């Protein structure tokens, strides 16, 4: 899950020999005051970004988001309380930027957390969940661009020399942005296939033979389509590990739908036939039962027992292999993020 990875809070180092002060005797003093508050927000944004990348705990991620909201709120309060320099125009623009970020964190990103809870119910919900993240990030990015525009305009107006640096935090966030774009694109390819397997097993649980065949075909086609997409998907730099992990999962789904599900479907059909024969026999008084009925029943018992053994074997194998490929997929994703999203 990506969250604020597209938000690139730039930090600026001001060329100055003056000590930091909040008297705002000069435009430089005021710009340094604003920059200090922005840097505090930036650091907590990075902590939140790291939590999204490296933490498996939703509680930890939520906690970092709450800390970030408080940090932005404190920065807003300090800037709002302080007098602007030579008017309130620049201060108003800075507060507009920060208040938008605060609103996004409180509303949009809170909604995104709620969307996550139901995202796995369908591909449309998952796609909407990821799109919501991207739209929220885009709003923040647009606000950041406006913030930087006003920052430079203020500096130019007062002849302040800005030394811009691709500082560590800015670089880390830029890297994280690209990493999450890659992982999210791959995850949607996988999920579009995976949701068909969810529907398939819902049909199996209901012993819906028609539904099983329909969803098995859908799963098979979706997995093959997914593999074709992965063939043309660029790796992140030279790292193909995540693509290979998703390929393994899709190949599992193809094998499942082509060789395993038919065995399960045949068992369920046989089981349904057996239940019909048994029900008919049970309703027939013992003295009126024919030899043909009894022979047919005994024959079905042997068939159902044999088929049941095969069914259990196939089902056990499926569950074991599914767990293996999905665990490897999650491990590959975790290692990928660990390798490419900076930790410090």
The pLDDT of 36-50, averaged and rounded, is 79
pLDDT, position 281: 86
Q: Which tens digit of pLDDT belongs to each residue from 218-244? A: 999 999 999 999 999 999 999 999 999
pLDDT, position 87: 85
Taking only Cα atoms into account, the Rg of the chain, rounded to an integer number of angstroms, comes to: 30
Q: Where are the domains of the chain?
A: 12-165, 190-340
Specify the range with the lowest mean pLDDT, choosing from 14-23, 208-217, 288-297: 14-23
Query: Which is it for the CA torsion 11, 14, 20, 21, positive or negative?
Result: negative
pLDDT, position 78: 93
Q: Which of 255, 269, 251, 222 is nearest to 328 (CA)?
A: 251
Q: Which tens digit of pLDDT belongs to each residue from 175-195? A: 887 888 899 999 999 999 999
Q: Please say if the pLDDT value at position 262 is more than 90.
A: yes
pLDDT, position 140: 75
pLDDT, position 168: 56
Q: Please say if the pLDDT value at position 15 is more than 50.
A: no
- Classify strands 162-164 and 12-14 as parallel, antiparallel or unpaired: antiparallel
Q: Please say if the pLDDT value at position 312 is more than 90.
A: yes
Q: Which of 258, 256, 260, 269 is nearest to 304 (CA)?
A: 269
C-alpha 102/C-alpha 71 separation (Å) is 9
- Cα atoms in the Cβ-side hemisphere of radius 13 Å centred on 106: 11
pLDDT, position 135: 80
Please, what's the largest Cα pairwise distance for the chain? 110
Count the residues in the chain. 344
């Amino acid at each position: 899950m990506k969250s604020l990875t597209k938000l690139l809070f730039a930090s600026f180092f001001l060329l100055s020999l003056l000590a930091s002060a909040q008297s705002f005797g000069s435009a430089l003093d005021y710009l340094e005051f604003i920059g200090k508050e922005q840097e505090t927000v930036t650091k907590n944004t990075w902590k939140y970004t790291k939590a999204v990348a490296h933490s498996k705990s939703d509680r930890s991620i939520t906690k970092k988001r709450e800390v970030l909201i408080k940090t932005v709120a404190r920065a807003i309060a300090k800037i709002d309380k302080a007098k602007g320099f030579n008017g309130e125009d620049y201060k108003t623009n800075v507060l507009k930027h920060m208040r938008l970020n605060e609103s996004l964190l409180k509303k949009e990103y809170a909604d995104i957390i709620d969307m996550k809870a139901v995202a796995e119910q369908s591909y449309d919900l998952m796609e909407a969940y990821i799109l919501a993240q991207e739209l929220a990030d885009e709003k923040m990015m647009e606000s950041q661009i406006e913030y930087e525009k006003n920052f430079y305009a203020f500096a130019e107006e007062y002849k302040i020399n800005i030394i811009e640096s691709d500082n560590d935090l800015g670089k880390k966030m830029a890297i994280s942005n690209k990493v999450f774009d890659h992982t999210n694109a791959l995850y949607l390819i996988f999920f579009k296939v995976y949701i068909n397997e969810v529907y398939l097993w819902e049909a199996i649980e209901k012993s819906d033979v028609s539904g099983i065949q329909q969803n098995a075909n859908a799963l098979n086609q979706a997995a093959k389509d997914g593999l074709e997409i992965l063939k043309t998907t660029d790796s992140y730099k030279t790292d193909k590990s995540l693509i290979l992990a998703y390929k393994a999962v899709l190949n599992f789904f193809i094998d499942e739908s082509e060789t395993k599900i038919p065995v399960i479907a045949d068992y369920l059909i046989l089981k349904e036939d057996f239940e019909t024969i048994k029900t008919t026999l049970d309703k027939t008084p013992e003295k009126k039962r024919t030899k043909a009925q009894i022979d047919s029943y005994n024959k079905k018992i042997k068939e159902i027992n044999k088929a049941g053994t095969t069914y259990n074997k196939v089902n056990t194998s499926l569950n074991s292999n599914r767990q293996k490929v999905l665990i490897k997929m999650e491990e590959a994703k975790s290692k990928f993020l660990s390798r490419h999203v900076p930790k410090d």
